[in-house]
Amino acid sequence: MKYEIVIPVITFVCVIAVGVSLLISREQKRKLLEKRLREGTGFKTGGETKQQKTTFVQLLEKIGNFVSHGQATTTLWEQLIRAGYLNSAAPAVYTGIKILLFVIGVVGGTTLTMPLKIYFMTKVTLVFVGATVLFFIPNIVLLLRLKKRHDEICRFLPDAVDLLEICVSSGIGLDMAWNIVSDEMRHISPVLAGAMALTNFEIHLGASRVEAMRHMAARTSVDDLASLAAILIQTERFGTSIATALRIFAISLRERRSFAAEESAEKMAVKLIIPMVLFIFPAVLITIAGPAVITIFTVLK
């Protein structure tokens, strides 16, 4: 009986520990990014960055490099970059976390299932299932972070485009307007502001505005940013008004967001049918018909 209580407690502690470690790692990477943007230091695309790492992170990195032989897949790199992990050691640390969680699952599952009087294959199955669940926790966290960043950028991009259009219409150059909007959006959407700041930093390093914006669209996987880059390419190529193009683009973004909200509202009525039938309708039926049923049974007796 006591093992039935110990297993959920240990599982809960493991999940909390993993969540706390991921939050701490994310906060450290965010602070490092802000420090680089303030100091104007460059990002290294290859090799190791000159940041001070904790012993635990170094251990995870060594484990990840040992398992992956120091090479990460392109898909993993793209997912980590879109999630905001720009450090060159991020794939190794990510892989190290997965391997460490799997080992914890195997060791913890073996320790907990050994005293149980069940078949050996059942024990092996329970250990494997528990270790597999822990192994895929970083994947779930990464996907949730990707969705959160994507939704935040899509939500606040129309406001950023409006600010760009206002700045450009007032006579400010596009590069200066980009810097102003990036600073203003930092208090509203840190994710979008960070993406814009990285784009501006890339322009300062010598990349063209169009190329830098294409890289921003690839880093964030937001189609609207790719459309914005295409609009700026056309305005620069044909010499049309940037303010007019930005104004029309902002209007289209707002209309699209309005249509998406209306579509979600239409779907809400269908989604409410199941909870209404399972929970609300029985409660209403009991409340209305309950007294009558009790009275009938009393009379029949």
Please answer whether residues 198 and 216 qualify as being in contact, where contact means their C-beta atoms are separated by less than 8 angstroms. Answer: yes
The pairs formed by 4-12 with CB atoms below 8 angstroms and a separation of 24 or more are: 6/112, 7/112, 10/108, 10/112, 11/130
pLDDT for 41 equals 41
Q: Which residues of the chain have a pLDDT value below 50? A: 1-3, 40-52
pLDDT digits (tens, 9 = 90+) for 39-59: 544 444 444 444 445 788 888
Q: Are 191 and 149 in contact (CB under 8 A)?
A: yes
The Cα-based distances of 289 to 44, 173, 278, 280, 296 in angstroms read 72, 71, 17, 14, 11
Q: Show me where the domains of the chain are located.
A: 2-23+50-135, 154-267
CA-CA distance, 261 to 255, in Å (whole number)? 10
pLDDT at 226: 83
Query: Contact 146/82 with Cβ under 8 angstroms?
Result: yes
Q: What was the pLDDT predicted at 2?
A: 46
